[in-house]
Amino acid sequence: MYGTVETIPYLCKRCYSCVRECPAIAIRVEQGQAVVMSERCIACGHCVTVCSQNAKRTKSEVGFVLGEILPRGNVVAVVAPSFPASFPDDYAKLPSALRKLGFDKVCEAAFGADLISPEYLAEIEKDGKQTIISSACPAVYNYIEMYYSELVPNLAKVVSPMVAMGRYIKETFGKNYSVVFIGPCIAKKSECKDEKVEGAIDAVLTFAELKEILEDKQIEMSALDETNFDPPEGLIGKSFPLAGGLIKTADIPGDILEKEIIVVEGRSKVEEILNELLDNKINASFIDILFCEGCIKGPAIDSNLNYYSRREKVINYINDRMKATDKQVWKSNIYNARNIDLSREFEDRDKRIPTPDEEQIKEILAQSNKFSKQDELNCRSCGYTTCRDYAIAIAKGLAENDMCLPYMIDKLEKAYKELQETQEQLQSAEKLASIGQLAAGVAHEINNPLGTILLYTSLLKKDLQKKLESPQPIEDLNLIVEETNRCKNIVSNLLNFARQGRLKISEVDIYDLINTILKPVRIKPEFNGISFSVECETHDTVIKGDSDQLKQVFLNVINNACEALEESEQKKVTIRISNIDSYINVEIRDTGSGIPKENMGKLFTPFFTTKKMGKGTGLGLAISYGIIKMHKGDIRAESETGKGTAFIIKLPLNLQ
C-alpha cells in the first residue's frame, strides 16, 4: 500500500503511544523506534494525533500540487464539507483564498455526497439478509479489507463523496481538468492512490497542509472577500461530516429505519461492531461506520475547537446555505449526472498474522520475568493492552523484548547493583594491588635480616647450652626464635599476597578437596567438639583451577569458621556445595557470634583482623580474595550477629 504515514526516527522517544492507539498493529518497534509498516497501515492517522513528539508525519503532496498541478492550469479544488470546523472564523472566505492560490474552480465535496446518496438508498432497500457496511470512509474499508476480510462482501460497492466528485468533474468539465481534494482526512491520501478508483483525484491536501501553504504564500484570509463555491453546490450532502450524516443525506424513509440502521463512530466502537458482525451477533440491515467521531474530528482538521463547537460551525454553515441554494438547479445537476459510474469494488487483502501457540507465548512472557498471571501487570506501558498481547506481538515480529517498562526497571536496577559491586571490587582490587606492591617490597627487605637473626640466635643458643647451667637464657633465646619465625610467617604471607604468579590449572574436584582439608582439621585439639557436615547438592563438582591455591582458600575460611566458634555453645560448621548455572557454589557456614555490621566492608582488606593478638595477621582473607578473583570467581560473606556467618565462594566450572 501507498505509505501514507511515516516515522521521523530522531523524534521518536519510546513512549509507544502510537502502538497503543494503532488498531491495525501496523507499528513495529525497531531498536526502540516505532516504525509504521506501510503494508499494514490503514491510514487512519490516529498515530499522528497521539504523538506528542510530532514523530509521525503524513506523506505530503504540497510540492506536487504547487510545483506541477497548479502551473498546468484547469485545476479544481474540491473541499470537504467539514471545512467550517477547521476555518471557524473565516470559512466563508476559503473559496477566495483557494482562487488566490491559483485554483481555477473551487467546489464542494458535498455535491459528491448528494450524488452517492441514492446509491446507498438502493443498497439498503435491497431485499437481502446481508448487513451492508458504508464504504465512504477509506480507513474503515482498509481496515475491513486487511483485518476483517470475511466482511469484504458486506461493503457497499459505492464510491466515496470525494471520488464521486472527482468523476463528476472529469466527466462534466473535461478529462483535462485536475482535481485536488482538500479535507481533514489522512486516509484520503491512500484512497487517492487506490487503483480501484484511480484517476478520479490527482492529489490530496489536508486542511493543516493548506494552512501551511497560505502562511508560506502570505495569504491572509481575514483580508479576503467572502465568496461562494463554484457550482455544482451541495445540499443535504453538507451534513455528511456529522454523526449519521450519510443517513440524513440519503433521506432514508422511516420504515427503513425500523429495520435497524446502526451509526458507529470512533476506533474502539468500530472494532467492537466489526467483531460483533463477524460473530453473527448483528442483524441490522445497514451500518454507517466512520473511524473518527465524524469527519469534524478528522486527524488533520487542525482546529482548537472542541467537538461540539466544530459541530455547531458546520450546522450554522448548513443552515445558511440551505436557504440560499436553488433546489431546482441542484436537482437538475443531480439528474444530469445520472450516467456517471459511482460504483467500485473491494478486495481481500488479509494482513493478519497467525497467533503463536501457547508454549511460545509462555516462553516470551518468561523472558520478561512473567511466570504466572500475577506477574502480568497489564500496565500498558509497552503500548499493548495486556502482557499477553505484548508477548503475541513479539512472536509476530512486531515488538521488542525491552519495551516492558517494569521489566526494564528491574533489569536496570540489577545492572546498577552489579555496576556498584563491580566498582567496589575494582576499588578493592586497586587497593589490594597497591598494598601488594608495598608488601612485596617490605617483605623482601625484612626477610634477609630476619634470616640473619634466626641464624645467629640458633648459633648462640648452641654455645650457651654448652656453657650455662641456668635454663633462663636458653628460654629467652627460644622466645626470640619463636617470635622471629612468626615474623617470617608474616613475611611469607605478605609474599603470597603480593605474588603475581600464574595459576597451575588442572582438574580439581571441590568435594574431594574439601573432605581432604577436613581430615586434619577434625583432629586438631583446639577444634575439639566442633561438628562438621558436608552437603553436596550436585554431582558436577569438578572444575578447572589451581588445586594448591584453592586448598589454601578453603583451609583459611574453614579455620576462620572454627576459630569463630571458640565461645559458642553450639559448635557447628556446615559446608554446602551446589551448582548454579555454570558455577559451583561452596557455602561455609558457622554458628558463631557473627561479624558486626561495621566490619563487613573490611573483611578482605589486608591486615584487618578481629582475632586476638598473635593469632592472626589479617592477610588470610585478602589472599583468599585474590586467589578467587584469579579464578574469575567471587567470594562474599553474610553474617548476622549472634547467629553466625557464612562465606559463599563462587567458582566457574570452566576457567577460560
Q: What are phi and psi of 4, to 5 degrees?
A: -80, -40
Q: Do 471 and 510 have their domain in common? A: no
Share the mean pLDDT of the chain: 85
Domain of 34?
A: 5-50
State how many domains the chain has.
5
Q: Do 232 and 139 have their domain in common? A: yes
Q: What are phi and psi of 251, to 5 degrees?
A: 55, 50
At 139 the pLDDT is 93
* 624 domain-assigned: yes
* 654 domain-assigned: yes
* 463 domain-assigned: yes
At 651 the pLDDT is 94
* 56 domain-assigned: no
Which of 20-29, 337-346, 495-504 has the lowest average pLDDT? Answer: 495-504
Distance CA 44, CA 188 (A): 9
Among residues 500, 533, 563, the one where a domain terminates is 500
Distance CA 298, CA 257 (A): 27
Contact status, residue 91 vs residue 63, Cβ threshold 8 Å: no
Q: Do 244 and 199 have their domain in common? A: yes
Q: Which DSSP category does 154 fall into?
A: G
Distance CA 357, CA 395 (A): 9
Mean pLDDT to the nearest integer, 422-432: 67
Band (147; pLDDT cuts 50, 70, 90)? very high
- pLDDT, tens digit, 9 for 90 and up, residues 301-352: 888 888 889 989 989 988 888 888 888 999 999 999 999 999 999 999 999 8
Q: Do 436 and 394 have their domain in common? A: no
Mean pLDDT to the nearest integer, 242-251: 73
pLDDT at 411 over 70: yes
Q: What 3 state SS string does 302-352 have?
A: CCCCCHHHHHHHHHHHHHHHHHHCCHHHHHHHHHHCCCCCCECCCCCCCCC
For the record, the C-alpha cell of 313 comes out as: 460551525
Q: Do 610 and 632 have their domain in common? A: yes
Torsion over CA of 252, 258, 260 and 265, rounded to 10 degrees? Answer: 50
* CA quadruple 504, 509, 514, 519: dihedral sign: negative
- Residues 417-437 as b/e (b if ≥16 CB within 10 A, e otherwise) read eeeeeeeeeeebeeebeebbe
Spell out where 171-270 has E strands.
178-183, 203-206, 261-265
At 500 the pLDDT is 46
pLDDT at 649 over 90: yes
pLDDT at 160 over 90: yes
* 596 domain-assigned: yes
Band (413; pLDDT cuts 50, 70, 90)? confident
Are β-strands 5-7 and 56-58 bridged in parallel, bridged antiparallel, or unpaired?
Answer: antiparallel
At 82 the pLDDT is 92
Length of the chain: 656
Mean pLDDT to the nearest integer, 484-491: 69
Q: Do 487 and 515 have their domain in common? A: no
Omega before 406 within 30 of 0, i.e. cis: no
Q: Do 299 and 217 have their domain in common? A: yes
Return the CATH number at 466.
Answer: 1.10.287
Among residues 469, 500, 531, the one where a domain terminates is 500
* Planar angle of CA 67, 68, 73, nearest 5 degrees: 115
Among residues 305, 336, 367, the one where a domain terminates is 336
Return the CATH number at 616.
Answer: 3.30.565.10
Q: Do 29 and 101 have their domain in common? A: no
Helices within 325-471 (DSSP H only): 327-336, 358-367, 387-395, 405-467
Distance CA 173, CA 170 (A): 6
Distance CA 80, CA 201 (A): 13
Contact status, residue 626 vs residue 440, Cβ threshold 8 Å: no
At 489 the pLDDT is 66
Q: How far apart are the first and last CA of the chain?
A: 53
Q: Do 566 and 642 have their domain in common? A: yes
Contact status, residue 448 vs residue 475, Cβ threshold 8 Å: no
Contact status, residue 594 vs residue 565, Cβ threshold 8 Å: no
Q: Do 571 and 478 have their domain in common? A: no
Distance CA 145, CA 160 (A): 16
For the record, the C-alpha cell of 177 comes out as: 481538468
* 218 domain-assigned: yes
Contact status, residue 162 vs residue 188, Cβ threshold 8 Å: yes
Q: Do 126 and 216 have their domain in common? A: yes
Measured from the Cβ of residue 247, the count of other Cβ atoms closer than 10 Å reads: 21
* 352 domain-assigned: no
DSSP notation for 289-300? EESSSSGGG-TT
Q: Do 81 and 187 have their domain in common? A: yes
Q: What are phi and psi of 636, to 5 degrees?
A: -145, 165
Q: What percent of the chain has pLDDT over 70?
A: 88
pLDDT at 255 over 60: no
Distance CA 484, CA 480 (A): 6
* 410 domain-assigned: no
Contact status, residue 510 vs residue 577, Cβ threshold 8 Å: yes
Q: Which DSSP category does 534 fall into?
A: E
pLDDT at 607 over 70: no
Contact status, residue 630 vs residue 503, Cβ threshold 8 Å: yes
